[in-house]
Structure 1
Amino acid sequence: MSKNPDIPLQDSGSLSPGGDGPRHVAIIMDGNGRWAQARGRPRLFGHHAGAKRVREVVEACPGLGIEYLTIFAFSTENWKRTQTEVAGLMNLFRRYISREMAALATRNVRVRFIGDRLRLDAKLVKLMDRLEVETAGNDGTHLTVALNYGGRDEVARATKRLAHDVANGTLNPEEVDEETLPRYLDTYVLPDPDLVIRTSGEARISNFLLWQSAYSEYEFIDTLWPDFTAAELGRLCEKFGRRERRFGTVKT
C-alpha cells in the first residue's frame, strides 16, 4: 500500500545559515560493542549502556532547538551478527519501549519507527505500534527510530509502492520526479536531516538515510556512543551553525 501522496512534505531545507542550529539531527549510534569490550564486558552490556544514553540526548533536544531527532538503532545488515547478539538486541528494544513509553509521552515526545517491520517479532511490533499511538498527539521533539532499516531497502520498498500506483492508474508515470519518490519513503512526513552524526571514529554512512541526506552536513567523531553526551551534541550543533550551506548555489 502506498504512502498517502496527499500528505504534504515538510520543507526539506534547514534553518537559514549564519548561527542557526540544525532543525533535524540524525545519529548513527556506533561503538556500543567496542565500548563494552574495552571494559571486559560482553557486547550487549554496551548496547544497554547506549540505550541509556538515548534518553539524555532526547531530553537535550528542546534546549538545543532540535525539533527532529532520528536514531539508527538496527540496520537490515545487523541480522548478520551472532544469534545471541541479535536476540539480545530485540529483547533490549522491547524492554526500552516498555520502560520509556510513559516518560516519552509525558515529555511531549512524538515517536515514529521507520524500517521494514515484517521481519521483526510480533510482540516488538505491537509495542512499536502502541508507542506511536500513545505519543501521536505530542508536538514536542519528534523522535524517529530506524529499526530494521536500510536506505537501499527503503528506496526499493518505496519504488515498489510507486510502481503499484502507476500500474493501477493512480499515478501518471510522466509526473514522477524527485519530488514524487519522497512521498513513498518511510520518512515522508519528516524534513530531511540537516546534520548527520556518526560516533566511534568510523567515516561511512552505512546505508543510512541515503536519499534524505543528499545535502546533510556530516560529523564523524571518535566518541563511542555510550560516552556521547548532551554537551558534545551541543558543541556539534554550535559548529553546524557556523557552516555556510549553499545547496548547490554560489555565494554572492
Structure 2
Amino acid sequence: MHLAIIMDGNGRWAKKRGLKRVEGHKKGAEVVKEITAYCANSPEIKILTLYAFSTENWKRPKMETDFLMKLLENWLKKELETYIKNDVKFEVIGDISKFFPKLRKRIEYTKETTKNNKRLTQVLALNYGGRDEITRAVKKIIKKNEEITQENIQKNLDINEDVDLLIRTSGEIRVSNFLLWQIAYAEMFFTPTLWPDFTSRELEQILNNFKKRQRRFGGI
C-alpha cells in the first residue's frame, strides 16, 4: 500500500498558541517521526510519501525557508539511526538542485546509507510539484526519442507507484499540486486536525475506514 500525506497546518498550529511559525514546523517534524514509526510497523504500508516542501513554498519569507532547510538537514542527521533501526529506506522526489550543497550532500548520504532497508520506504517530496514532475517526465521521454504513452510517462515520473490513500490534514480540501498523476484513483481523506496534532491513533482510524471502502477503479 502506498500512503501519501499532505502535512498541512504547522503555521496555524503555532499561531493558535501565540508561537512563531518555526515552532509549528519543529512540532510537525516530531509527528513525522511518530507516523513513520507507525507505518514501518504496519505490514500493509510499503511506501509513505510526505509532502514536505512544494515548489510554491519558495514564496514564503526567506527566514522561514532557510529555517526549513536547516530543520531538514538536522532531522536527517539526527534520525539516521532511527531509519536504520526501523529498517526504513529514505527517498526523495522533486528538484533538490536549489538546496544548499550541504543539505544535498546530507540527502544523498541518507539515501545511500538506507538504500538496502526493506520494511518501509519513506519518500519526502522536496521542492516538488505535480505539474513540474509530469513536465519533466515528458521531457525525459522526448530526449530519449520514445513514444509519449501513459506507460512511458508513469515510468519516467519521480515516483511511479500509484497512491492508494491520500490524507490531508488541517481541514483544507484540495490536493495542492501533489502527486497529480499518482492519485488518479486514490481514496482521499481530509481531516480538520492540524499536522502537529495528528497522531498514529487517528491514522489507524483512517486506515480502518479505508479498508471498508470499495475501490472500483472506474469499473462497476
Q: TM-score, normalised by structure 1?
A: 0.85
Mapped partners of 2:91, 2:185: distance in 1: 23
1:27 maps onto 2:27 in alignment: no
Shift of 1:52: 0.5
Identical positions, percent: 45
Mapped partners of 1:63, 1:178: distance in 2: 31
Mapped partners of 2:96, 2:47: distance in 1: 22
Q: TM-score, normalised by structure 2?
A: 0.97
The Cα offsets for residues 100-138 of structure 1, whole Å up to 9 and x where unpaired, read as 011111210001000001111111110110100010010
Map of 1:71 onto structure 2: 50
Mapped partners of 2:165, 2:26: distance in 1: 25
SS at match of 2:42: helix
Shift of 1:63: 2.9
Mapped partners of 2:164, 2:118: distance in 1: 20
The Cα offsets for residues 45-98 of structure 1, whole Å up to 9 and x where unpaired, read as 000000000111011112362111000000000000001111111110111011
Mapped partners of 1:106, 1:59: distance in 2: 10
Q: Which has the larger radius of gyration?
A: 1
Shift of 1:146: 0.3
1:246 maps onto 2:216 in alignment: yes
List 4+ stretches of structure 1 deviating above 3 A.
none
SS at match of 2:162: coil
1:202 maps onto 2:181 in alignment: no
Higher helix proportion:
2
Mapped partners of 2:84, 2:103: distance in 1: 18
Distance 1:31 1:64, change over 3 A: farther
Give 2:16's aligned amino acid. A
Q: Which has the higher contact order (CA 8 A, sep 6+)?
A: 1
Matches within 5 A, 1:120-135: 120-135=99-114
1:60 is aligned, of 29, 38, 42, to 38
Q: Which runs of 5+ in 1 are unaligned?
A: 1-22
Matched residue pairs, number?
Answer: 219
The Cα offsets for residues 195-245 of structure 1, whole Å up to 9 and x where unpaired, read as 000000000000000000000011111000000000000000000000000
SS at match of 1:63: coil
Map of 1:15 onto structure 2: none
Q: What's the Cα RMSD here?
A: 0.9
Give 2:156's aligned amino acid. Y
Check conservation: 1:64, 1:234, Cα contact below 8 A: no
